[in-house]
Structure 1
Amino acid sequence: MVSAALFWLIHVVPGDPGRNALGPYATESQVAAWNSAHGAEAGPLEGYVSWLAGFATGDWGVSLVYDVPVLGLVMGRFVNSVALGVLAFALLVPLAIGIGALQARTEGSRGDRATTVTLMTLASVPEFVIGVVFLIVFAVVLPIAPVRATDGLGSGVVLHVGAMLLPALTLALGTVSIVARTARSSIIDTTRAPFYRAAVVRGLSGGELFRRHVARNALGPTIAVLGLCLGVFIGGSAVVETLFGYPGLGELLVTATQRKDLPVLTAGVMVTGFVSLAALLATDLALAAVDPRVRLSEGS
């Protein structure tokens, strides 16, 4: 479904692929020859089958902008986005769940209300605003991070991670409020359930009570939200990667869209779609492993 929708959307957009590839000074005969050589003159069904067969066998074509094989270009950028997404996710999980658990523990207090206001304010701020503030503070006023992430990549582990830290923090802070609020609500609902009160009456307390009766029951909705965040992080954030000049898949797709590099655009969107579906599948499997109310059984 993703591939069919993608192929249809790209081919209904006005523009001649041959003209986009060869530029405004190419003759009509040169444009026609390019379209014929690259299968751009084929009908919708024939063109879709040919393109999908090539994509499935690893023949993703050649980039019109970079003049390199699309497979290596897209996968190289995808690896960079995975590294950035994993770092952002590693920052998000303990921060968001910790804030949510602390709010649940102090429900109704001034600290809980102040944290709620702060999280809601943060949720209303766009990612590019957070990123610009980080650049001004940590790259200009306090020059402890590079202005462009590419300046620190490949310069050793410490500098490499340091170059990714600001974009990773921007990604994490953009979603921390949603995850923290979900964790807070889930923990509060669990502590009000009858089985929790029964466990308290039986004498359970402290870490054992939280681990056995709170965490596994309360983490279900939080894991579902985290799965969506992971898919977005790994698939590449166009806004954050473009702002920080990070060479990821999102930044590549922005360039491909602006310059109508159709082979790169189709391959990049397909990879992003696969990543999103894989993240949803991993989320379902994690829910089945963590939540005792969800079990995968034969035939279900």
Structure 2
Amino acid sequence: MKVKITQRESSALYRLLADTTSDIILKTDRKGFIVHASPAIERLGISLPSMLIGPHIQDIVHPASAAEIEGRHQDAIEGRQGADWMEFPALTSDRTERWFEIQMRRLVDDRQRVYGALSIMRSIEERRSFEEQLFAAAMTDPLTRLTNRSAFMTMLRHVVEERGGEGCVALIALDHLKAINMKHGQTAGDEALVAFSEVVRSHLRAQDIISRIGGDSLGVLLPAASAEQAEAVCARIVGVLSEKRQIAGGGTLSLTASAGVARIERSVDDTLRRAEMALFFAKSGGRNRLEIDGKLQRGWSWKPGNA
């Protein structure tokens, strides 16, 4: 059964909702100036009764979203509004960002003249926080707190497809992790991986991106790095690990690593195949060394003490 509500009842219902809901109800004129708002707008640090002229709807959003929300308001005025909600960051009086979603409908008088728009703003802070936590969990390795293989592949694909494939990829593996686990236990192995990750991270450039992509291996994106620059970075990492002593397992384990480097070219699969081949040669050549794709067939390799 359809509920019939008179104009006076609609007005009473509006006041009831405006006074009790945590949503922000806005009434704007045709130009987008706020002429009335529910008490919840005070959450943004705005007190309309104390203002001679109400703010424009653009004034309560982040500048990056101002044009979009102005366009959405114009669509509502011209009757083009859809049923979808628009998400945007609003600004409080102390310039703090808080995320909301908004929906707008135009207001028409008895003579069918449009005189403004009615909008509902709803906070989505909790939802966005939850979504960000889920995203972080899905893209993060829980042990090392680095991004995981899925994130690494996404970033590599972006470099290949969007940035023209400039730079290099390095695959760096902790040597003999399985033996560490068997001899000293899983806890010691985990400590070794964390220590290994920290050493690698601390010797990368600010623009480099590191991820844990396998049980014993890390992937490093070196955007815009030449093969010589990537070689220098990875040689430093392999060398530093080789020189350190007793850095994991309660001060009883010395760690070494093997690394393979390849330029980012053609495709994600081709780039990874060449980097994996370089890492394979580093491991099969005795570990604790660095191999560079492109130098493999010339019999080149680098290990600590070779410089």
TM-score normalised over the length of structure 2: 0.23
Q: Which has the higher strand share?
A: 2
TM-score, normalised to structure 1's length? 0.24
Relative contact order (C-alpha < 8 Å, sep 6+): which is higher? 1
- Structure with higher Rg: it is 2
Structure number with higher helix proportion: 1
